[in-house]
Amino acid sequence: MNKDSSEKDKSPAQDPSPTEKLGEQIGHRAKRKLQARDKDERTVWFGFGMFGLVGWSVAIPTIIGIAIGLWLDREWPGRVSWTLTFLIIGIALGCLNAWYWIKHESGR
C-alpha cells in the first residue's frame, strides 16, 4: 500500500475534527481556571495589585473631576468653586469604585 491509500483508509472517528480539538482546548483551559480559582492562594503580588487597583480607581475619577472643575471655573466663574466641588465628587466616585473592586475581589 502506498502512503496515499493508507491516509484514505483512516476513518474520521480516528482523527478528531478541528471543532473537537477546540472543544478539548477550551475544556482544558476552563478546568485549569477553575482549579486556580479553587486554590485561592493569594500572594504578595496579589496584594500589590490590589493596592494599584484601589489607587488608580480613586485617582482617575479625582483627576477627571479636577479637570472638569477647572474647565467650569474658566467658563463660568462664580462664588462656588467648581474645582473643589468636582474634586469632592471625583473622590467620592473613586471611593465607591474602589469599594466595588475590593468587594468583588474579596467575594471569591
pTM: 0.57
CA-closest candidate to residue 46, choices 35, 59, 37: 37
Greater model confidence, 28 or 48: 28
Which residue has 485617582 as its cell numbers?
59
Q: Which element (helix H / strand E) includes 24? A: helix 18-39
Four-CA torsion 8, 9, 11, 15, nearest 10 degrees: -70
33-66: pLDDT as tens digits: 887 777 666 677 777 777 888 889 999 999 999 9
Lowest mean pLDDT among 4-8, 28-32, 78-82, 96-100: 4-8
Q: Does position 5 have pLDDT exceeding 60, yes or no?
A: no
Grid coordinates given for 6: 493508507
- In angstroms, the CA 107 to CA 94 distance is 20
